[in-house]
Each structure stands twice: as structure tokens, then as C-alpha cells.
Structure 1
Amino acid sequence: MGKNVGFLARIRYNYLKVHNKLRSQNMVNNSQIVLLIVAGSNGSGKSTIYENFKNTVPEYRNLPLVNPDVITYNIVKEMGFNSINQLSVTEQNIANLKAAKTALTLRKKMIREKTSFAVETTASSRSIIDLADKAKEQGYRIDLLYVTVGSPLMNIKRVHQRVIKGGHNVADADILRRYNRSLLILPELIKRTDTIYVYDNENSPEMIFFKSAEERQFFTKKKLHVDFIKKIFSESN
């Protein structure tokens, strides 16, 4: 319990560092429709970060989340299983494909109805760029919550740990491929975003960078973090 309280406190503290200032400058418009993109490689912990982030940030608290992994989980439960790992490879592929199609349909519906929502993604394909472009065309503000753990090897380790606990698996090669691909996609995505939160989740969750139209601020002095952020932003210019 104490650990979780500390987790929530860190996220809320990090958020308030920047958000109260923005609100005082009238830079936060709660009436505008918002697309919050929660991005990070497999195993980065983005689902956990997002759940705690939204519960401490009023602006994001009630956003419906379109997450293919959650949809897949529900499909598996409807099939009478507790874990996707209980399915054959063919059945897993069918469930994942159905979930991906369902997520795509939901995203299109949200944008068509101009409803604020959040999506979770590895940001490893141009589909997230297409989504951001369509949202922009409809007047959405695009916010990005990006979660990193510093190394794709750590992502692989986290996924292995998740599988031991009954979570869904992702092949090591797929994690590496998506990680490398995301480094190419991320600068393109950044060009389309209005507000960016970058969290390091290697040890305990910590906001390491924030950017809005009027402000850019580092909350870390670690060379690895600073170099990573500078790299993706230099490529987005």
C-alpha cells in the first residue's frame, strides 16, 4: 500500500510541477477535445503509468482508453480462458487480429463523434501518425505520454517477467523491431503533438521531460535521458 501511495504521489508531484503553471497562463483548455497517446515499447509499463497518471490528473481522468491488449484479453475471457498463453499460436493470432480491427473501428468512431479519448501504442507503425493527422483535422489537441525504460533489453526482461505472471508474451525479435521502428516514428509523432510528458520507468516512475507550445523543461540530469530526448527532438525539427 505504501509503495503504491508513493508511486501516485510522485506522478502527481511531477504533473503539478508543470500543469499549475500552464493553467495560470491559460494554456490548458479543458473544453477542447483531446487525444492522449500513451506510447512506449512492450514492457515499458505504460499501462500502469497511464492508470496512475489519469487518476491523479483531472483532465485525463474520464478519458476512455482504446487498448488492443485489453480488447484481446476480453476476447480470450469470452472464449473461456484466463490467459492468451493458453491458446494455440493460430488462435492467438486470430484474437490479436480481431482486437486490432476492433480498436481501429473504435478509434474511427471516437474521432467521427469528436469524443476525447486515449490510445495505447508502441508507436512502431505509421498508423499512429495517420490517427494523429485525422484527429488534428477534426480539431483535437494531441497530447503524448511517452514511457521509456532506457534500453530494449530491459523491455525484453519486463515482458519475460510478465509472462511468468500469466501476462501475454511478445517475441524478443518483435520487441527489438518495434523499439527500433518507434525511434523512427517518434520524431514524426512529436511534430503533431501539443503537450508531451516523458516518463522514465526503469526503476520508479519519474517525469524526466515536459514540453508544451510555450515551455520545454528537463527534470533529469542523466546523460542517457537528456541525449535520448535531444535526439528525438532534433530529428522532429
Structure 2
Amino acid sequence: MPAPSQQPQIILIGGPNGAGKTTFVRSFLREISCRYLSADQIAYDLCPEDVASVAVQAGRQFLLQIRKARENRESVIVESTLSGKGLARELRAFRAAGYEIRLVFISLPSVRTSSARVALRVSKGGHDVPAQDIRRRFYRTHVNFWELYRPIAHRWELFYNGHQLGHQLVARGKDRHTSVLKPIFWNTFWTILDAD
């Protein structure tokens, strides 16, 4: 955690189901010391055999925990699909409280890839996500990242995780400036956004 004199930060790791958010967070936590908050993890802790049955309760606990972190000026890493809009309100409150907002989005090339990754996770004992939720969230999570969450962040990074090379940094931005590092994956991202 940063020293008390340093600006606290909230790092939001977003992406569709199966994008590798939790894997990314684990590697990230080796580099910096922050508290990690995830509604999925809370649900698993509450009821590992049926996380879907406690999803609403886990979501409420998640919001309470991030609000408490803000009150305590604690730096946190938060994981979300970004398929909803409610977390944007929380990010604005963090920003108003003087936090640095950093957004990391992990993209996949298709709903099919997202579904396959979730199936692989389940085969290894991980949590499942209903197929209709994966489909419903996939496009929305990309649009919400770009149109809703990115403008709130002080800085953002877009990663692509659609092949065996792992998380590839595609683009980053600060304020209104964008740097594209991997144009082919940048185009893949825009193909998803334009698939209206």
C-alpha cells in the first residue's frame, strides 16, 4: 500500500468472462501491494458449491467493501466484467475523494473464445457462468469500457488475451491521449465495438 502521504489509487481490472482477469490480478499483486476485491471471490467464499445462488449478496458485500476502502483511503485492486453501469458511480466517488483511477481492460476476440475459456476454467474446478450471461455481457463489457469507464479513469490500458502469448498490451491512454502499440489487436477491439 502507498505511504500515507501518497495518493491512493483504485485499479480496476475489467473484461469479459474468461478474459484472464484473475490471472492478471495475481501477477499484478506480485508487483504492487494493494487489497484485492472481487464479487466473484466473495461469492465463492460464501458458497463455493453454487456461487450463482449468492451473486446478489456477494455484489452487495463487494460494494460495501469498496466503499469502506474509500473511507479508509486504502488503495485497492477491483475486478469486474464492467457489464453493468453501477461501478461507474463508485469510480466517480473515488475520483472525487482524490484517488488516482487506473483502468485495465482485457479483451477477447469473440463470445466463442469467452465461452471456451469459461468451460476450460470449469473443467479445472473453477466457477461457471451461464452461457446466456456470457453472450449478454460480451459486447456490453467492451462498450462500457470504452464509453463509460475509460473517460472516468486518469489512465487506462487495453490488453488482448486471445492467443497463447498471454496478455498483450495493445493500447494505453492518459487524459485524452492514446498510444496504440499493437494495431492488429486494436483493430480487433474496434471490430467488436462496431458489431452493433
**1:122: which partner in 2?**
81
* 1:145-184 superposed matches below 5 A: 145-184=104-143
**2:39: which partner in 1?**
68
Q: For 2:41, give the aligned amino acid.
A: V
Higher normalized strand content (fraction of residues): 2
Q: Is the 8 A contact 2:171 2:181 kept in 1?
A: yes
**1:36: which partner in 2?**
11
Task: Indicate the RMSD between aligned Cα atoms, in angstroms.
Answer: 2.1
Q: For 1:207, give the aligned amino acid.
A: L
**1:132: which partner in 2?**
91
Aligned with residue 196 of structure 1, among 133, 150, 156: 156
Greater shift after overlay, 47-56 or 104-113? 47-56
Using structure 2 for the length normalisation, give the TM-score: 0.86
* 1:9-158 superposed matches below 5 A: 31-56=6-31, 61-76=32-47, 83-84=48-49, 87=50, 92-158=51-117
Using structure 1 for the length normalisation, give the TM-score: 0.72
Q: For 2:182, give the aligned amino acid.
A: T
Q: Is the 8 A contact 2:107 2:142 kept in 1?
A: no
Q: Secondary structure at the match of 1:43?
A: coil
Structure 1 position 53, deviation (Å)? 2.7
- Residues of 1 paired with 2:84 and 2:180: CA distance? 27
Structure 1 position 215, deviation (Å)? 4.8
- Residues of 1 paired with 2:74 and 2:25: CA distance? 19
- Listed one character per residue, the Cα deviations across residues 61-117 of structure 1 (whole Å, up to 9, x for unaligned) are 1110110111122223xxxxxx42xx4xxxx44422222111111011111222111
Higher alpha-carbon Rg:
1
Aligned with residue 185 of structure 1, among 138, 144, 151: 144
- After superposition, the Cα gap between the structure-2 partners of 1:67 and 1:42, relative to the gap in structure 1 and judged at 3 Å, is same
**Aligned residues, how many?**
186
**1:19: which partner in 2?**
none
- Listed one character per residue, the Cα deviations across residues 5-54 of structure 1 (whole Å, up to 9, x for unaligned) are xxxxxxxxxxxxxxxxxxxxxxxxx9211111100011001110121133
Unpaired segments ≥5 residues, structure 2: none
Higher normalized helix content (fraction of residues): 1
**1:3: which partner in 2?**
none
Q: Is the 8 A contact 2:157 2:172 kept in 1?
A: yes
- After superposition, the Cα gap between the structure-2 partners of 1:230 and 1:156, relative to the gap in structure 1 and judged at 3 Å, is closer
